[in-house]
Amino acid sequence: MGISPQALIEKFQHALDNKWGYILNTAGEKWTAEKQAKSTNKMTIEYGRQWINHYVADCSGLFAWAFKQLGGYMYHGSNTMYKSYCTSKGTFSNGKRTDGVTLKPGTALFTGTENDRGHVGLYIGGNDVIEAQGTKAGVIKSKADNKKWTWWGELKGVDYGGNVNQGFPEKTGWHPTVRRGMKGDDVRELQSKLYKLGYNLGSYGIDGDFGRATEAAVKEFQEDHKLTVDGVAGPMTWDALDKAVQNVSSKPIEKKYAVCIHGLDKTQADALLTKYPGATCTEE
């Protein structure tokens, strides 16, 4: 089974939420003052300094990074992406495929000509696209009906099968992405699972409000399970949470017992205490 569209969208949303920048020929690295000083690219020299200490990627580099994070591979180069890494593709106009078929979230949108498609973004549902636009703007959200998008392509390695609703397949066990600032039953479910696994939710506990303590608990869980530590409960975090809770629930409860022995003298009692650390003794 390939990468799900929603997992791919989540990686792009992560880059958007964390204010990633754009540097030509990068794919998810952290930009530094040293790298900036060595750059010879005109746009990087002019605008790149704002991205120091930010993660950066160019338009197709963002795809390459996201696929790598999800265990797949995507070529770093928009023209070759369209020509060799799309399972189906075609022309696009005014926010729609020209063949009349509904555009699926997780589809790549391209600009350019028949021979040179120089830019690419990811359609995430509705009328929205996430793209690494350029060195001046970085990673942004734009609109699919922008006239610049003239080609679409469904990408190799992405499973577009099943029912799709705004980028997320309708299936049992699916959870919406929740992040700091959100409230409601989905947040409460997240908190309940974290609490069951022993994570600290702060003084407010399971209150359905995704605050600082819940974000810290999510980050701790993500670190413990070798996930991207961003404090956002997306598909991969939910999946790991569900499995962890299921494992806890399936373990038999280990019963504990206490033994009380009467009539011992002090020597006998002291001897037992040395054999069982943590045991207590009271005088009868």
The matching CATH number, chosen from 3.40.50.300, 3.40.50.1100, 3.30.420.40, 1.10.101.10, for 185-250 is 1.10.101.10
Q: pLDDT for 124-140, tens place per residue?
A: 999 999 999 999 999 99
**Mean pLDDT of all residues in the chain?**
88
Overall average pLDDT of the 234-258 stretch: 74
Q: pLDDT for 64-92, tens place per residue?
A: 999 999 989 999 999 999 999 999 999 99
CA distance 78 to 61: 9
Q: Is the pLDDT of residue 172 over 60?
A: no
CA distance 203 to 134: 43
CATH class belonging to 5-169: alpha beta
The residue ranges of DSSP E strands in the chain, in sequence order, are 27-30, 55-57, 86-93, 96-97, 108-111, 119-125, 128-134, 138-143, 151-155, 164-165, 168-169
| Extents of the domains making up the chain | 5-169, 185-250
pTM of the model: 0.60
Of 62, 50, 66, the closest CA to residue 4 belongs to 66
* Strand, helix or coil for residue 143: strand
